[in-house]
Chain A
Amino acid sequence: MRQPKTTGTYVRRGLVIAYLFLLVAWPVSLVVKHTFDGGLDNLQTALSDPDVVFALQLTVYVAVWAVVINTIFGVGVSLLLVRYDFPGRGILSALIDLPLSVSPIVVGLALLLTYGSTNGLLGPSLRDAGIQVAFAPLGIILATAFVSLPLVIRELVPVLHEIGTDQEQAARSLGAGPWQTFRRITLPSVKWALVYGVVLSLARSLGEFGAVKIMSGNIAGQTQTATLSVEEKYQDFQQGTAYATSFLLALIAVAALVVVSVLRPKENPDGD
């Protein structure tokens, strides 16, 4: 049912638009504007700086791995949370949200305390085994995966609840084993939630700063990701490069979101 439009409707709409404009649209558009202040100069400068190129590549590499880990782990944990009853399920569910509520800096420190190669709890033994975690890509992936961990799970859990177990049971009664049931029934049913979770997770991973800054050591050309590079260039009076890098980061994230919303079927595919 549609309510008649009153002055109130327009006032409320105006408020929402103004809020979004002042908080999101305008500031972001300023980044874009500054990027293209001198035509394509800023972008060219940035892309000819080997440290920036390396940072962008590292960011994409880290983000892809973090997303892969979060997808596999996220699907597993979501199924565990929804389909199984076990002691401590409530605690697990609450813990999953922790990375969203705790400051990434704290996450970085915590990881460093565990995996730091000299003083960390596990770090020295891992180093002896030849695995360098802190101040290395592995540590950056770990930190990134940690902060974006809940995104896939929070997308999947409500959908898994909603589809229920009837279809899975029907598949089993028709002869499908657990893996066939998962691949042919469960996965296609949660496909869009999973894609959405993955995109959010990717966007978050590209933009992670705090945890990565502590865990990576921030060494340009070695462990510096794009966000860290933006900060350094900005403080180094290379604002143009900073804007250009920011623009590229935002572009990848926005592009991913746009692609998904274009691909996602318009009508509700679930029926009733």
Chain B
Amino acid sequence: MGIEIRGINKFFGDFVALEDINLSIPSGQLTALLGPSGGGKSTLLRIIAGLESSDSGTVEIEGVDTTNVPAQKRNVGFVFQHYAAFKHMTVAKNIAFGLEIRKRPKDEVKDRVQELLKLVHLEQWSDRLPSQLSGGQRQRMALARALAIEPSVLLLDEPFGALDAKVRKELRDWLRRLHDEVHVTTVFVTHDQEEALEVSDSLVVINEGRIEQIGSPDDLYDRPASDFVLSFLGPVTRLGDHLIRPHDIEISRYEQAATATGRITRWTRVGFEIRLEVTPDDKLHPDPIQVVVTRAEATALGLHEGDQVWLRPQAGVEPVRA
């Protein structure tokens, strides 16, 4: 159940947008499609919604083959990056749209709209036009509009991409809590790995039209299947012949069994963390190694710029062979 995608291919002329995508999205979960821009994740989402057609392959939603079902009959809620608010309608009318199309009785529509306005905290704004709302409010309205039709799946295409950092963070938390309340199968597209790691139950990393890895946020972060996943999900540095996250390196001013030794040649403080650059003594691997420590750690270890240091992976960390 949920969404079953089998053998999807999509070409734009010669460009391969999606290549043999097979994916099972379980019911009731919040799944993120994560990847760089132009990697095909939005195209996949639009194919699920029926806003785009695939060149081959099938899509099943809740056990029904919807490959040839037009978008308006799929009962899919879709939220766009730029809100796609109906500009000539009030907030309440926007939310009621799907229900009015379905010719539901007036009273029922009214009650449902009230309920949704409350859910997205826009009760005060029901008679306003979208142009009188902030970006975050418009996106909440768009979400309510999509939820009004009680969709079998909710699809969000970079829903917070057009918002500023603070609102983005708020809406992200809010979406997570909303999902815990509503439990509709939700798929959202993002290129922001932090957003994906924080909000989703499971992650699908898509790059150049192919699925790189599927798994829980922990799986992907700690056990990346490829260099690409490792480097896309967070910062990466090279220690010896392995790739490792800068904060997974143990650093010491005293001689110890070490993968690399070198001198601290750069010291950048960003808030509570300190980003160090260590230039290795090993002439075979001359590229500087990035190390991240907290300010407290740096003080405890007595680190200073110019110190000779010994580096090795922290206990329990399995670096990936480069």
Instruction: Please list the residues of chain A having a beta carbon within 8 angstroms of any beta carbon in chain B.
Output: 163, 166-167, 169-177, 180, 184-185, 188-189, 191, 269-272
Contacts and interface: CB of A to CB of B under 8 A. Distances in A.
Contact of A185 (B49, B51, B86, B146): B86
A166 B71 contact: no
Contacts of B84: 166-167, 169-170
List the 7 shortest-distance A-B pairs measured between CB atoms, nearest first. A271-B131, A166-B84, A174-B98, A170-B84, A173-B78, A188-B88, A172-B71
Contacts of B72: 172-177
B101 interface: yes
A189 B87 contact: yes
B88 A170 contact: no
Interface in B49-65: 49-51
B132 interface: yes
B145 interface: yes
Contacts of A173: 49-51, 71-72, 74, 76-78, 146
Interface residues of B, number: 33
B102 A169 contact: no
B71 to A, nearest CB: 5
Contacts of A175: 72-73, 75, 98, 101-102, 149
Given A185-B86, A271-B130, A271-B132, A174 B80 contact: no
A147 to B, nearest CB: 32
Nearest to A188: B88
A175 B146 CA distance: 11
A175 B145 CA distance: 12
B82 interface: yes
Interface in B82-124: 82-88, 97-98, 101-102
B80 A172 contact: no
Given A169-B51, A173-B51, A189-B88, 6 more contacts: A170-B80, A170-B86, A172-B71, A173-B74, A175-B98, A184-B97
A270 B51 contact: no
B129 interface: yes
Contacts of B131: 269-272
Given A172-B72, A174-B98, A175-B101, A166 B80 contact: yes
Contact of B88 (A171, A176, A269): A269
A269 B85 CA distance: 13
A168 to B, nearest CB: 9
A225 B80 CA distance: 53
A156 to B, nearest CB: 16
Interface in B143-174: 145-146, 148-149
A134 B145 CA distance: 55
Nearest to B100: A184
B51 A171 contact: no
Contacts of A174: 72, 97-98, 101, 145-146, 148-149
Interface of B: 49-51, 70-78, 80, 82-88, 97-98, 101-102, 129-132, 142, 145-146, 148-149
B261 to A, nearest CB: 56
A180 B77 CA distance: 18
A12 to B, nearest CB: 34
Nearest to B138: A271
B100 to A, nearest CB: 9
A140 B23 CA distance: 63
Nearest to B74: A173
A196 to B, nearest CB: 16
A271 B77 contact: no
22 contacts: A166-B80, A166-B83, A167-B84, A169-B51, A169-B71, A169-B80, A172-B70, A172-B71, A172-B72, A173-B71, A173-B74, A174-B97, A174-B149, A175-B72, A175-B101, A185-B86, A189-B88, A269-B87, A271-B87, A271-B129, A271-B130, A271-B131
Contacts of A166: 80, 82-84
Residue from B83, B87, B142 having most chain A Cβ neighbours under 10 A? B87
Contacts of B88: 188-189, 191, 269
Contacts of A185: 86
B78 A170 contact: yes
Contacts of B129: 269, 271
Contacts of A172: 51, 70-72
Contacts of A191: 88
A180 B85 CA distance: 16
B45 to A, nearest CB: 11
Contacts of A170: 78, 80, 84, 86, 142, 145
A180 B78 contact: no
B142 to A, nearest CB: 8
A182 to B, nearest CB: 13
Contacts of B148: 174
Contacts of B73: 175
A59 B251 CA distance: 91
A189 B85 CA distance: 11
B143 to A, nearest CB: 12
A172 B146 CA distance: 11
Residue from A172, A177, A188 having most chain B Cβ neighbours under 10 A? A172
A180 B49 contact: no
Given A169-B71, A172-B51, A172-B72, A270 B87 contact: yes
